[in-house]
Amino acid sequence: MLESEKLALAAHLHVVLRRHVGRVTDVEWLVRDAAYAQEIIALARASGQADCVERANRLAEALFPPPPPAAPVRPAATPSSPLGVAMRRYVGSLR
């Protein structure tokens, strides 16, 4: 996600928090500092306002994306598998 999109999400959350909770935030710092962002997102989620929670969740997804799925683990070659036989022949002899 682009930096400008993150900034726009933070600005929307800032407006909603100011309107419903009366809390003023620093929009640029919200995008740059992860600890500050986590605190403000927790505050918005705890407010109980549906709009605040929705905006906080969208900002959290943008700032803290989930890690990519792990690559599948390939089973190791056993000595009896075709790959194991080929490896043993290659390593154990001169071609």
Question: Does residue 77 belong to any structural domain of this protein?
Answer: no
What total number of domains does the chain contain?
1
- Match 């994306």 to its residue by tokens: 65
Q: How far, in Å, CA of 51 to CA of 84, rounded?
A: 59
The 10s digit of each residue's pLDDT in 35-58 is: 999 999 999 999 989 999 999 999
Q: How far, in Å, CA of 50 to CA of 48, rounded?
A: 6
Question: Does residue 34 belong to any structural domain of this protein?
Answer: yes
Domain membership of residue 18 as a residue range: 3-63
Question: Does residue 81 belong to any structural domain of this protein?
Answer: no
This prediction has a pTM of 0.69
Question: Does residue 9 belong to any structural domain of this protein?
Answer: yes
Question: Does residue 57 belong to any structural domain of this protein?
Answer: yes
The 10s digit of each residue's pLDDT in 3-41 is: 899 999 999 999 999 999 898 999 999 999 999 999 999
Question: Does residue 68 belong to any structural domain of this protein?
Answer: no
